[in-house]
Structure 1
Amino acid sequence: MSVTTLRYADTGAFSPFLVDYLARHQALTPFYHRFPALEEFAAQIEEKRQHYTPAARQRLVAALRRQYAGLPQVHPAVQANLGLLEKDTTFTVTTGHQLNLLTGPLYFIYKIVTTLKLSQQLKAAYPQYDFVPVYWMATEDHDFAEINHFTLFGKRYEWNATDTGGPVGRLPLAGLQAEVLDQLPADVPAVFRDAYAQAGTLAEATRRLTHDLFGQYGLVSLDADDPELKQALVPVLEKEIREQASHRAVQQANARLEAAGYKPQVYSRPLNLFFLTDAGKRERLEYDAAQDCVQITVRNTGRCHSQQELLELARQHPEQFSPNVVLRPLYQELLLPNLCYIGGGAEVAYWFQLKGVFEENGVPFPIVLLRNSAQYIGKANAGKLRKLGLAAPDIFRPLPELKKQVGATLGQEEVSLQEPQQQLAAAFRHVADLAQRLDPTLVRAVAAEQQKAAGALAGLEKRLSKAAEAKHETAYSQLAALKDKLMPNGHLQEREDNVLSILINNPHFIDQLLEAFDPLALEFTVLEE
């Protein structure tokens, strides 16, 4: 496996915000706590150690042991990490993601592998501590349409579950077997089918699958939709209901980001909370100042509480509340002895809006790291690249540029009539000057003839270019097909393809990623067979 790295900026696929962050642009410094560099973790460890209580650690480990008790067998590496989490010298590195069906796009895998690799690097740099990789399962998310499908070898597989709109982690798996699992190619590894066939809910299935894929590396998956864990959220709920402090903090951050030339990724609400209803739905809480009550938006109901009633409900039943995108990161950092959050580009952007929310609640803001991104080029496609005279990083360049490069390699003559056009323009300027002296009424006729002649010359240029391209039409067709294969629909491969498209033919893919990735190098990775 050949590994090449390049700057994120050189791929043309990442926002100016991310490029500026990775370059440590000063305008973004106020929005993060510490930059993701190895030496910065010493201070982050000490700060988290001072704030994370033994009670929080005990609550976390108890919940994880309950959750893992549902698996038929827990990998020894996971068992060891659960034991390490009981010690006050153990910290976590965390990524989070939705419960995408069969892992969804490739970047789900890349997120977790980045988390595994950084945990290993931290252990090597700070051997007196232990570091546990954690996958935060987005079990309370209710956007089913974002997770119910994936694409494999160009075919879309989709699960059409009914009664959605509540936390997706609680969804039963009715219909999934017939609609998706039975339709999969025969060579799909059994663990992808078994995880769902042997589970009762989507959360349970996702835990099984991530454990099968990453358990040997010690990955611990956490489901925060847990009544005992929600007890940690009570102070946040009280502050949010009383003061709407998170809304003010995000608004202030957004104003500063916009002043610095960046567009905020998310927008907060006066109450950044959902309510989990008895009907199994996750509905937004809305504050109605005119009526001095908090309106719980539940379809077909008019449920409404006064502020005091809602505070009492939060104290007695915090499990009925669910944080939205603004407060979810805070909930995560309350539960975990976490040092670093690893996310995609959009996640990094919205974490930069939240530093004030953490300050309002007295919780340390973690180091925020962009996950590794990668382009995988299998043996067949690598051979096609070489045949066309291209290197792996070339695939990120626009197709017209690549065609010119391939054409030059194949000896195609470049067709350009720019010089004749300039000569034509000079000749008509001479004629126009002559007309101006002899009969000015003819100047417009000269201009019209010049336009026709220039148009005819441009048309000839196009026809000649097509004739030149036709000599190498097969190579250009191969180039276009290869570009679409490696960057489907014009997007990065990691946003479209499922890991099975690689894993079926390359069972060592995850190990190869783990070896190739260097999270703190902050570079795009190209893996080529």
Structure 2
Amino acid sequence: MDVDCISFRSTGFFSKLILDYLDQEKPVKNLYSNFPNLEGVKHQIKEKENHFPVANREVLSSVLEKQYKDIKVSEKTKQNIEALKDSKTFTIVTGHQLNLFTGPLYFLYKIISTINLAKKIEEENPGYKIVPVYWMATEDHDFEEINYFNFRGKKIQWNKEASGAVGKLNTNGLEEVFAILEQELGTSKNASYLKEVFKNAYLKHNTLTEATRYLANEFFSNYGLVIVDGDAKELKQKLIPYAKKDIFQNVAFTEVSKTIEEIQQTSEQYNIQVNPRQINYFYLLEGIRERIIEKEGNYYINNTELLFSKEELEKEINKYPERFSPNVIARPLYQEVILPNLCYIGGGGEIAYWLELKNMFKAMEVPFPILLLRNSALLMKGKQKNKMDKMNLSIPDLFLKQNSLINKKIREISNINIDFTEQRTHLQEQFLGLYSLAEQTDKSFLGAVKAQEIKQLKGLNALEKRLLKAQKIKLKDHVIRMSDLQNELFPNYSLQERNTNFAEFYLEYGEELIPKLISKLTPLSGNFSVLVMD
């Protein structure tokens, strides 16, 4: 497998905030603590070591043993669960929704980044055990975000009426999804394995949580991955004091709002990923996950008739902590409270909202973790690489907007020079003389000179576009081949990893796929990878 790379900045797919974070630009330095490098990790270990109670380890290990009770796991995963009781053991965590059949490719990249970083840190810090963890987003309630996956350009969807936390959804109805997938996969050896995995995960487990745990364990148990479901009463008990600060004192709302204001003042180009609410918790019951809203000292559960006084709600938290589900602002804190975690690995959108949270963590007196942008990759088959080479395309060429790519290559391969930059420059120089002449004679003519300059530049631009269009028609076959290749690699004009399901590549590469990715994706590389699979 050949590996090439391109900077995240050059891809055109990442926000300015994330790019400035990766480059450690001064405007964003106050939004994080330790940077994701080996030196930053050493500082993070010491900080977490001094701020993570032994009692939390015992609870975590006990809950994991229950959650893994009926799961066949590798010896390495068993050892990692047991090791979490030890004060010298820490975690590297990624989180992801319960996407059907893993969803897009980046599900794999997240977990692979986590496994590889845990291994690297353990090698660099003798005496410490580092455990890779996948946090399942079992309490999310946006079913429409996770009920499908794309396979060979087709959307395979689970049609079901759903409400409440997705992790508790029963898997009834997935037989129809399997029937569609079975037809699409074919009859090869690799197809048979994928069918078997889907059946074992979704048709032999009762809930989406159980199915997703089985799936992730099937692919990554041999690497020691530990899978956590935060929807557990024993774990939620550790969240009680922090939930009260959020619900009754609005600590998260106050601190995150201040940070957002600072970010917006720093740069208008920094987009805010999420905004906090006065209360950042949902009330969670079977089939219900609704916001908690305070009005005049009482606490309402949105879209229900449930109502609590402050005293009643406090009693409810103490007695039933499992009924309080953190939202996107509060969930990161929950994770860091119950895990001895050093680093969170996420996509660009996730890292962007984590960068809003440092002051909230400080106010809650919980160490803020290192934030690492997960590995991103473009997987290219050998045939596609050959096409690219024959058309003399470079890796940066592939990431251009399609119109820019076509114009660039048409200019390169054309036997005439369709670039009027020189003519535009010459024209603008001529008008400088006319501006000077008007200035010396009658300044009222300056507007007329400007209008004439704009008119003539527009004429040049229009002529250039017409000639380019004519040349594109002349070189139509080349344009079609370039466009087709780019469309294959960037479905829907987006990154492959955000659209394509792993099954497309597993059909071709089988059990070698994940080991190959693990061997080639390096979490601290700081670049976007391009992998030629053959």
After TM superposition, the score normalised by the length of structure 2 is: 0.89
SS at match of 1:386: helix
Offset of residue 18 of structure 1: 0.7
Q: 2:321 aligns with which of 296, 318, 327?
A: 318
Does the CA-based 8 Å contact 1:412-1:469 persist in structure 2? Answer: no
Does the CA-based 8 Å contact 1:157-1:180 persist in structure 2? Answer: no
Matches within 5 A, 1:99-498: 99-162=98-161, 164-184=162-182, 185-187=184-186, 188=191, 189=194, 190-261=196-267, 262-277=270-285, 279-288=286-295, 290=296, 292-297=297-302, 299=303, 301-407=304-410, 410-415=413-418, 464-498=467-501
SS at match of 1:506: helix
Does the CA-based 8 Å contact 1:98-1:138 persist in structure 2? Answer: yes
CA deviation vs aligned residue, 1:227-252 (integer Å, no higher than 9, x gap): 11111111112222321111111111
Does the CA-based 8 Å contact 1:377-1:527 persist in structure 2? Answer: yes
Partner of 2:442: none
Residue 523 (str. 1) matches residue 527 (str. 2): yes
SS at match of 1:51: coil
Comparing 504-513 and 143-152, the one that deviates more: 504-513
Aligned residues, how many? 504
Does the CA-based 8 Å contact 2:247-2:280 persist in structure 1? Answer: no
Amino acid at match of 1:309: E
- What is the distance in 1 between the residues matched to 2:353 and 2:462? 50
- What is the distance in 1 between the residues matched to 2:23 and 2:380? 28
CA deviation vs aligned residue, 1:307-351 (integer Å, no higher than 9, x gap): 111011101110111111111011101110100000111111111
Comparing 389-398 and 228-237, the one that deviates more: 389-398
SS at match of 2:308: strand
Offset of residue 171 of structure 1: 0.3
Comparing 177-186 and 145-154, the one that deviates more: 177-186
Does the CA-based 8 Å contact 2:178-2:198 persist in structure 1? Answer: no
Comparing 509-518 and 221-230, the one that deviates more: 509-518
- What is the distance in 2 between the residues matched to 1:18 and 1:51? 28
Does the CA-based 8 Å contact 1:159-1:180 persist in structure 2? Answer: no
Offset of residue 461 of structure 1: 5.9
SS at match of 2:91: strand
Over aligned residue pairs, what C-alpha RMSD do you find? 2.6
Does the CA-based 8 Å contact 2:256-2:360 persist in structure 1? Answer: yes
CA deviation vs aligned residue, 1:420-460 (integer Å, no higher than 9, x gap): 9989x99xx99xx9xxxxxxxxxx9xx99xx89x96x9887
Amino acid at match of 1:522: G
- What is the distance in 2 between the residues matched to 1:366 and 1:460? 55
Does the CA-based 8 Å contact 2:33-2:368 persist in structure 1? Answer: yes
Offset of residue 195 of structure 1: 1.2
Assess, with a 3 A threshold, how the Cα gap between structure 1 residues 151 and 404 changes in structure 2: closer, same or farther. same
- What is the distance in 1 between the residues matched to 2:234 and 2:406? 60
Partner of 2:444: none
- What is the distance in 2 between the residues matched to 1:239 and 1:415? 65
Offset of residue 128 of structure 1: 1.1
Partner of 2:443: none
- What is the distance in 2 between the residues matched to 1:349 and 1:459? 41
- What is the distance in 1 between the residues matched to 2:280 and 2:292? 8
Assess, with a 3 A threshold, how the Cα gap between structure 1 residues 476 and 229 changes in structure 2: closer, same or farther. same
Partner of 1:86: 85
SS at match of 1:483: helix
SS at match of 1:526: strand
Assess, with a 3 A threshold, how the Cα gap between structure 1 residues 259 and 416 changes in structure 2: closer, same or farther. closer
Amino acid at match of 1:204: E
Does the CA-based 8 Å contact 1:95-1:115 persist in structure 2? Answer: yes
Does the CA-based 8 Å contact 1:94-1:133 persist in structure 2? Answer: yes
- What is the distance in 2 between the residues matched to 1:230 and 1:332? 10
Q: Percent identity between the aligned chains? A: 39
- What is the distance in 1 between the residues matched to 2:145 and 2:106? 14
- What is the distance in 1 between the residues matched to 2:505 and 2:5? 20
CA deviation vs aligned residue, 1:267-288 (integer Å, no higher than 9, x gap): 11111110013x5210100011
- What is the distance in 1 between the residues matched to 2:411 and 2:468? 13
Assess, with a 3 A threshold, how the Cα gap between structure 1 residues 302 and 182 changes in structure 2: closer, same or farther. same
- What is the distance in 1 between the residues matched to 2:341 and 2:89? 9
- What is the distance in 2 between the residues matched to 1:462 and 1:167? 53
SS at match of 1:521: coil
Offset of residue 41 of structure 1: 1.2
Offset of residue 60 of structure 1: 0.5
Assess, with a 3 A threshold, how the Cα gap between structure 1 residues 462 and 123 changes in structure 2: closer, same or farther. closer
SS at match of 1:199: coil
Comparing 227-236 and 466-475, the one that deviates more: 466-475
- What is the distance in 1 between the residues matched to 2:232 and 2:461? 69
CA deviation vs aligned residue, 1:14-60 (integer Å, no higher than 9, x gap): 11101100111111111111111111111211111111111100110
> Higher Cα Rg: structure 1 or 2?
1
SS at match of 1:383: helix
- What is the distance in 2 between the residues matched to 1:418 and 1:252? 47
Offset of residue 193 of structure 1: 3.2
Offset of residue 222 of structure 1: 0.3
SS at match of 2:13: coil
Assess, with a 3 A threshold, how the Cα gap between structure 1 residues 407 and 462 changes in structure 2: closer, same or farther. closer
- What is the distance in 1 between the residues matched to 2:265 and 2:467? 51
Does the CA-based 8 Å contact 2:6-2:395 persist in structure 1? Answer: no
SS at match of 1:132: strand
Offset of residue 470 of structure 1: 3.3
Assess, with a 3 A threshold, how the Cα gap between structure 1 residues 417 and 340 changes in structure 2: closer, same or farther. closer
Assess, with a 3 A threshold, how the Cα gap between structure 1 residues 461 and 323 changes in structure 2: closer, same or farther. closer
Amino acid at match of 1:284: R
Does the CA-based 8 Å contact 1:415-1:465 persist in structure 2? Answer: yes
